[in-house]
A and B are shown apart, each in its own frame.
Chain A
Amino acid sequence: MGIKQVAFKIKWVHSVLLLATATLVLGTPFIDNPYYLDTLITILLWAGLAGAWNISGGYAGQLSLGHGAFFGIGAYTSTVLLLTSDLSPFVGMFAGASLAMLVAIGIGAVCFRLKGPFFVLATLAFGEVAHIAAINWRSITGGANGLQIPYDAGWLNFTFLSEKPYVYIAFLYLIIVYASNKYMEHSRLGYQLAGIREDEEAARSLGVNSWRAKLLALGISAFLTALGGTFYAQYIQIIDPDSTFSWTVSIQPALLTIVGGLGTAAGPILGSIIMIPMSQVIRVQLGGTYSGAHLAVYGVILIAIVLFLPRGLYDVVRKAPSEVWGKTVLRSKPE
């Protein structure tokens, strides 16, 4: 693979992404339909959460199905701090994220002894324990009824009358997550994680401290997931264990990342851009009479992608231009 080809590929996809996001940001003030704004926020938030998951699930290859716990910790910590000590969620979100990171390091210390399907099952169990704890720890979490955030609009309270500020905050969140994903592609930690993902024994024999690298990856991933949790709480204004600590919150980021492309920075974004509007459309079109249809389609897509395009849609998109017009110029050297 020639160096020129790499440069070209990166430029192509990234300029499209850049163009799309620029249009989005510049266009937001002109969108007044709350439904479109809500869809936009949902895409941005899930792209961010998927990107956060991607750090441990994609780059480090540790498939966690317990990220709902980190999301819930983020949502509840900032909300409890807001309700009890009137702390601004902008501060509370970092408290929640730090707490989630500590919990992640604790969970990681236990679960990283396990490999493959056992790791998946253990993270799943942790997620469920957190869910049950959130339901039963009523004095703090309000139990199954959840917590309501007082409606008091203002920047300090992270509460707004219009959807538009949420779009910008979600966008900022996505940029932070994207940057940390990119960092995983071009840093010492990222290379170590790639080594661990491909062959842990070999990486360790070359002096990589795999324990430390995996813990760091899970910690960063949990930190970013919890930030998304606070955003969700402030946007929806009401949280309960079933919507934050749930199984769905744990699965969705994994699903979006796999569809887009595991272990690539653009993958989670691509996955959300395709899957979320699609499921919204199916839900709106068929939801009333055929509830479940959009998730059934999700299931089929997931199976098809995993079996036939295990590297995700990003891989297809990335290869497209060179196959269309780049044959002579770009294929000068065989891979």
Chain B
Amino acid sequence: MIEFVPQLIISGILLGGIYALIAMSLTLVFGVLRVINFAHGDFVMMSMYLSYALYVFLGWEPYYSVVVVAAIMFLFGVISERLIIKRTISAPHVVQVFATFGLAILLQNAALLIWKGNMRSVSLPYADTVLKIGKVSVPFTSVVVVGVVFLITAALFVFLKYTYPGKAIRSTAQNRTVAMLMGVNVNRVYRFTFAIGAMLTGVAGSLLVLIYPVFPLVGLNFILPVFVIVVLGGLGSVPGALIASFIIGLAETLSGYFISPSMKQAVIFVLFIVILVIKPSGLLGKKGEEGIGT
């Protein structure tokens, strides 16, 4: 039993990387707009289909077409912010929850209309490579995900810390009224942040289409653990989300092996409820943040 532990830990970290890829953008958007995007998982689904379509129709491989998918998703982010999200920002949260929820239902079923319910996947010879380190096997595609997660983290750090738009985003997240008084165009910050979030789901979708088959409800598989992660990390905290992703990734693989594969999701949700009760502001969130938006 114990000889599997290194493999489990590696698999847990790799799974954590996949979650981090999605969780970071969700938490970034929440931190600035104070809106939980219930359609975030479906943005990933949409990106996976885009990447799949580019591969099937044009022969562009996902690792290259990621640029195109990210650009399309950025535009999609701008449009959906303009049409929907913008109107929900200072609205009561029944509006916030159900407007993005409606968007999720729309995207899932539009995908079902266009692509039918089949599972589709992109398989490339180099994507099936498994690296062997001692007795531990590591799929190449997952290593790429973890690498990209660290690249994105570094890029986000530099962007938020040293550039003007980054500073505007941080100041809006801290206090939107004061930011506005200091001459930050808050509405533009909202749109830009949401678009960046959507763009990052584009990156996620392009990488994930090589790991998981895509089907209209695939977003739900990602979004439920990712909700747990962003709350565990502290809603709005990007570093928190990163740490929490790896914790949940490890918790999922370890409980899947030591308890039962069918119960691993239940373990995560129970963990989630425990966190919400003990420390609803999360690992790195500020105290009192959980009341924001009420």
Contacts and interface: CB of A to CB of B under 8 A. Distances in A.
A251 B280 contact: no
A320 interface: no
Contacts of B290: 114-116, 118
Nearest to B263: A136
A285 interface: no
B103 A135 contact: no
Q: Looking at chain B's contact residues, is the secondary structure mostly helix, strand, loop, or mixed?
A: helix
Given A296-B105, A310-B92, A121 B266 contact: no
Nearest to A132: B266
Interface string A233-268: 000000000000001000100110010001000000
Interface stretch (B3-11, B93-101, B164-172, B195-203): B93-101
Q: Looking at chain A's contact residues, is the secondary structure mostly helix, strand, loop, or mixed?
A: helix
Contacts of B52: none
A298 interface: yes
Contacts of A262: 94
A307 B265 contact: no
A203 to B, nearest CB: 13
A299 B97 CA distance: 13
Interface string B100-119: 01111111111111001100
Nearest to B110: A296
A125 interface: yes
Contacts of B96: 117
A113 B277 contact: yes
B40 to A, nearest CB: 13
A104 B265 CA distance: 21
Contacts of A116: 93, 290-294
A307 B106 contact: no
A292 B109 contact: yes
Interface string B5-31: 000000000000000000000000000
A50 to B, nearest CB: 14
B265 A63 contact: no
Contact of B262 (A121, A129, A136, A298): A136
A290 B113 contact: yes
A126 B268 CA distance: 11
A24 interface: no
Contact of B102 (A121, A292, A299, A310): A299
Interface string A102-146: 000000001101111110111011101100110110000000000
Contact of B113 (A126, A132, A293): A293
A125 B292 contact: no
Contacts of A296: 105-106, 109-110, 112-113
A13 interface: no
Given A114-B290, A116-B291, A303-B99, A122 B273 contact: yes
B97 to A, nearest CB: 6
A17 interface: no
B277 A302 contact: no
A132 B106 contact: no
A300 interface: yes
A291 interface: yes
Nearest to A291: B112
Contacts of B104: 299
Q: Which of A118, A128, A133 has the most CB of B within 10 A?
A: A118
B241 to A, nearest CB: 14
Chain A, interface size category, equals: 35 or more
Interface string A298-325: 1111110011001000000000000000
Contacts of A120: 36, 93, 97
A298 B95 contact: no
Contact of B269 (A125, A136, A255): A125
A284 interface: no
B87 interface: yes
A122 B276 CA distance: 8
B131 interface: no
Nearest to A301: B102
Contacts of B277: 110, 113
A126 B273 contact: yes
Contacts of B117: 291
Contacts of A295: 105, 108-109, 112
A302 B103 CA distance: 8
B266 A291 contact: no
Contacts of B87: 307
A290 B228 CA distance: 34
Interface in B259-294: 260, 262-263, 265-266, 269-270, 272-273, 276-277, 280, 290-294
Contacts of A115: 290-291, 294
Interface of A: 61, 63, 110-111, 113-118, 120-122, 124-126, 128-129, 132-133, 135-136, 247, 251, 254-255, 258, 262, 290-293, 295-296, 298-303, 306-307, 310
Return the 8 tightest CB-CB contacts between A and B, nearest first.
A299-B106, A292-B112, A302-B102, A299-B105, A303-B102, A296-B109, A292-B109, A295-B109
Given A128-B224, A292-B111, A303-B84, 16 more contacts: A113-B280, A114-B276, A117-B93, A118-B231, A125-B227, A132-B265, A258-B98, A291-B117, A292-B216, A295-B108, A299-B107, A300-B102, A303-B103, A306-B99, A307-B84, A307-B87
